Amino acid sequence: MRFRPANLVIKDVVRETASVSTIRFDRSLDPTPGQYIMVWVRGVDEIPMSFSAPDSITVHAVGDATRALCALRPGDSVGSRGPFGNGFRLTGERILLIGGGVGVAPLAFLGEDARARGVEVTSLIGFRCREDIIFLDRFRRLGDVILTTDDGSAGIEGRASAGLSEIDPEDYSQIYLCGPEMMMIDIIRRCREHASRIQASINRYFKCAVGICGSCCLDPDGIRVCVEGPVITGDRLLESEFGRYRRGPSGMRESCY
C-alpha cells in the first residue's frame, strides 16, 4: 500500500465548458468507476474527485481548490491519495445511467467500462443549458441518450427527471446515479419501487478519507461515506438524511436545498 501522496503529473487539461475542465494525468490509477482520489493542490487544499476515466478527473471550478486545480497546466503536478471508496458495482446486462451536470463524469467512465464488458447502456443526462453540456459524444458512443436541459436550449426541457417519461426503469437491471443531491433524491423517490436497484454516488464533507474522522458520516446509521461509499444504494438513501440535510466542514447540519 502506498502511504505518501503519489505525485501525478498533468498531461493534458481539456476545457469542457466555461467552468468545467478535464485533467488527464500521466498514468492510469486503475480505479473502479465511482471510486475517488483525494487531490492535493499543493499550498491550497486537498479535495475529493471522482474519476472521469482511469487517468482523468473532471473538475467544476467552484472554490479555491477547484479553481487552482483548473488553472494548472500540462507538466504541473498534484499530490494524490487513493483511489478510495467503494465504486459502482456492475450488475446485469442492461443498465441505465442518470446524471446531472458534472456528475455525469463518473457515469461516462462506468458506461465505457460496462460497454467494454458487453453490457447494454442507456443514458439520461441533464444540464442547466446547452453551454453546460459535457461528454455528449462519449454517451452517444455507448448507446441511447436522452438529453435534458433546464432551459430547454437542448433536448427535453426540464430537469433530468423530465426524461424519465421516455424510459421504463423496469427495463434495466441496474440504475446508476450521479449529480446534484436534490436531483438524485428526486429520481430515487420517483423510482422508489426500483430503489434497491439504484446505485448513487454521493457527496459528503470528506476530510480524512480513511474512515476515522467522522466528518462524512451519514445519518441515521453512521455510514462512513468516504470508505463505505461514495456509492450507496437508493433504498439506503431513502432511509437516510440524503436530500434533507448534510454537514459542512465544522460538522454543523446544513440544508441541502
Q: Measuring CA to CA, how many Å separate 38 from each of 41, 81, 133, 247?
A: 10, 5, 25, 19
Identify the CA nearest to 81 among candidates 14, 177, 166, 7: 7
Question: Toward another protein, which CB reaches closer, 74 or 248?
Answer: 248
Least CB distance from residue 47 to another protein, whole Å?
7
User: What's the full length of the chain, in residues?
Assistant: 257
CB of 192: closest distance to another protein in angstroms?
23
Quick one: 63 or 92, whose CB is closer to another protein? Answer: 63
Report the residue number, 131 or 239, with the smaller CB distance to another protein. 239
Nearer to another protein, 213 or 256 (CB): 213
| Grid cell digits, residue 58 | 473532471
Which DSSP letter does residue 237 get? H
- Residue 154: C-alpha distances to residues 139, 143, 203 (Å): 15, 19, 27
Q: How many CB atoms lie within 10 A of CB 253?
A: 13
Nearest to another protein of 67, 207 (CB atom): 207
Q: Closest separation between CB of residue 199 and another protein, Å?
A: 22
Alpha-carbon distance of 176 to 146, in angstroms, equals: 15
Neighbour tally for 157: CB within 10 Å: 12
Cell numbers placing 110: 462506468
Residues in the site for another protein, rule: CB under 8 A? Answer: 3-5, 7, 38, 40, 42-47, 77, 79, 81, 207-215, 217-222, 224, 247-253
Query: Cβ of residue 253: shortest distance to another protein, in angstroms?
Result: 8
In the complex, the smallest distance separating the C-beta of residue 144 from another protein, rounded to whole angstroms, is 40
